[in-house]
Structure 1
Amino acid sequence: LEQLKYNKQNGRIATWISENESENGPLPENVTEANNTIEKFIVDSNPDALKKTKNNIEKFDQMEAAVVLSDGTIVDGNRRFTALRLLSKEGKGQKFNYIKAVVLPNQTYSPKEIKALELNLQHAKEERVDYNPIDRLVDIYRDLLSESSAFTPEEYATEVDMPIKDVKKEMELAQLLVDYLEFIHQPHKYYIARQQNLNGPLREIQRILKSKKIEEDDAQDAKELLFSTITTVTGDATRKIRSMANVITNRELLHNTLDELDETLNDLDESFESEFVKDNAKERHTIEVPVEISGKINNVVEKKIETTRLAGAQKAPLEALGKANNFMGNVDVRALKLLADGSAEDNEEIKILISAIKSKLNEIEETI
């Protein structure tokens, strides 16, 4: 174990690496110190999964080989490596002082080939996909969208055994994540997105922004209004964003909301540079804007959401009438006549239903 080292580019701990770099600078050059730091990331990122792996290895030994480079870098098996390190420290026995692994000569493979192998091993098997969703998006951004990206979408889709359309959808989501962090003036501080649990809200934003009801000229404003809401909402952010769909896709209502919040959104942007917000981002890894700003945004947004709900309720009778008409169109008259001719009981039930429908139509017509 002492001859091995964690892969600093491992996608499972992308947000933890960014957090450490933001607070403490780059990881130590000393392998032992770097390993100790990354071990903590692995433990904290998914303690339940690590405990399960550790217990399994202690009980059944190492059932699956890791993959390492000849310089000691772990390509696949970081969790197993961590579990063995912990068991070794606990003095559980000599067999936990080493890892069973396939060893590859690192001089033979390019960085891209090594990353492709990692993707294949860690993503292609369905049961192995247990990344934190935000770490997964960071990995996709690095591999496909950043300046140093090495893969085309087609290559990436092949390595992770994923439809190309799904890869492109995840790329859009990864870009949305980066856009959000830039919006709050915390570029590439991915750990904030992890702390805010943004996977759900971002997916809702992605779905809303794909609506054909949104004019191209309004797309950026719509996105920033949704981002603003994320920073101010308390409770279930995913549900709140979902409830904004009818506000964002109604151009008049969207513009009214933006006009009403014009000065407040400017104040929000300025607050992102304030010491209050910066200190919270650094200490608590989240964004907490001044109460007067968040209160104003929440009140206006909730008022607009309620407007769409009332409009929906007012249109409900018309929608019900439309559905009734559609259902009537589905009635096969010839089949109904066969039922009426073939059974006196069916004939009587048909007459009762026709009478009820006529009565309701008369009531509607007379009222209107």
Structure 2
Amino acid sequence: MLKKVDLFELYRKGIIKEGGHSINVPIKKANGDKYDGKTYSIPLEYLYYNNQNGRIGVALSEYENAKGTLIPEHSEEYNKIIQKILTDSDQKTKKDMNKLKRDISIKRQEEPGYVLSDGRVIDGNRRFTALRLLEQDDSILEQQYFEAVILDDLSVQNHDDQKKIKSLELQIQFGKLDKVDYNPIDRAMDAFKTVKKNNIMSAKEYAEYAGIKAVDVNKRILEAELIVEFLNFVNVDEDNFSLAKELDLDGPIQEMLPLYRKNKNSENLPQILNTLFSKIIQMRSSNEDFKSEFRQVVKDVIGTDTEQKFIEEMEEATDTIVDVLDRPKPIKNNVELFTILDGDKSTVQALSEVKVISSKYSEKAKNLKEKNIPLTLIEKAHSNIEAINKQHLINLEKKEMDRLKSRLLSLKDYIDEILLEEF
């Protein structure tokens, strides 16, 4: 039985106090009225995390993939799970959260958050976490309070309200904390889930609320689609976006976006993706930098005359990887993924072959590119000279004309030297 909370009822009972702020709420009520922006000082025990928050949703995916769906509710067990996700995911997260905890302990909570009347924290999850950490600190005796505006007429169960809540999150989070709070994969998956998967709002609306261009929203959605394709390739639940962060897929996926967009409706797309996904796995298993070989393959092999031959040579290794990862239960995280790959002799050999083949084609593409550089430069020089309007030469001063003739004669001498070379 879920614990029922009504923050306004608690306010009437004197448990919740009035806060010290009145802020301009960037959304309006369903009837068009403005929220009064009044803040309240709320004991932490009556609040709980919002699992639909973009950043929390991505981080929560690994936990739910391993242990099942986590039901948002008023329980310390639920809050502790989310708190751990928001504080212990990596060293940078721990450092940032400890800094925020110290700042709030000294300056108090300077910026109010937003909550629903049932205690769901819509905005301010990091501040809420820092306050929870302070309350759990044995050296701090005073009770902690979260100061927030209570949005009294919204529910996450209502589709129209979901849109309002999401618009508020976008305006606040992406408007102020974009570079701090959201990494590229979080941003991509949030746009994908909001626009394409859950149909909460259009790409145009998302762009307007987040203060970005619609083309950038669509780019994020494409990136998320590619991530989902990768997760399907490695037999990971497509909601387990945290694995994409663990594998740091943003860089390689960004490199693939132009070809994905170009080949989205091509029947060859599955072959292209599987081949490149095999290369990504090989890179991550050997800590190889994607900016050299992978980038060369994506830009100078795929889409050229050598593409089909490259895919054909990679096919056996790719099929081996797919077959080994094709298991009844989805893989849960990158540790399990590489434990499976490293524990099978056929995939170890396959990944070695992926490295050899991709290196060969990358080197070929590089050599071809360098081989064509002289011709490219000569053609460019020829075009530049042809572009000279001879009528303009008449107006040149003598000094400029002498300099021009000198440069032309020097250029002619260099061309003659090249022509005398034995090729």
Identify whether the pair has TM-score above 0.5, normalized to the shorter chain: yes
- State the Cα deviation string for residues 77-132 of structure 1 (Å, max 9, x = none): 000001111112224353x6101110112556733322332222212336566212
2:214 match: 164
* Structure 2 counterpart SS, 1:27: coil
Letter in 2 for 1:40: K
Distance apart, 1:273 and its partner CA = 2.4
* Structure 2 counterpart SS, 1:102: strand
* Normalised TM-score (structure 1): 0.87
CA contact (8 A) 1:5 1:73 kept: yes
2:318 match: 265
Distance 1:357 1:48 in 2: 60
2:96 match: 49
State the superposition RMSD in angstroms: 2.8
Distance 1:361 1:13 in 2: 64
Distance 2:135 2:104 in 1: 12
- State the Cα deviation string for residues 183-224 of structure 1 (Å, max 9, x = none): 111122222111100111111111233458x99343332222
Larger helix share, 1 or 2: 1
Distance 1:336 1:200 in 2: 50
What pairs with 1:25-36 in structure 2 (closer than 5 Å)? 25-27=68-70, 31-36=75-80
2:113 counterpart of 1:69: no
Q: Aligned pair in 2 of structure 1 residues 286, 127: CA closer, same or farther (>3 Å)?
A: farther
Residue range with higher mean Cα deviation, 155-164 or 234-243: 234-243
Q: Aligned pair in 2 of structure 1 residues 44, 307: CA closer, same or farther (>3 Å)?
A: same
- State the Cα deviation string for residues 326-362 of structure 1 (Å, max 9, x = none): 3324556565565562x3xx56544432222111222
**How high is the sequence identity, in percent, across the aligned residues?**
30
Q: Aligned pair in 2 of structure 1 residues 279, 119: CA closer, same or farther (>3 Å)?
A: closer
Q: How many aligned positions are there?
A: 360
1:298 match: 355
Distance 2:381 2:112 in 1: 63
Structure 1: which 5+ residue stretches go unaligned?
A: none
1:6 match: 49
1:320 match: 377
1:152 match: 202
2:162 counterpart of 1:111: yes
- State the Cα deviation string for residues 39-66 of structure 1 (Å, max 9, x = none): 0111124223322322221221111111
Distance apart, 1:268 and its partner CA = 1.6
1:141 match: 192
Distance apart, 1:152 and its partner CA = 1.9
- State the Cα deviation string for residues 122-163 of structure 1 (Å, max 9, x = none): 1233656621222222222221222x3322222222221221
Distance 1:81 1:195 in 2: 25
1:236 match: 289
2:107 match: 60
Q: Aligned pair in 2 of structure 1 residues 126, 281: CA closer, same or farther (>3 Å)?
A: closer
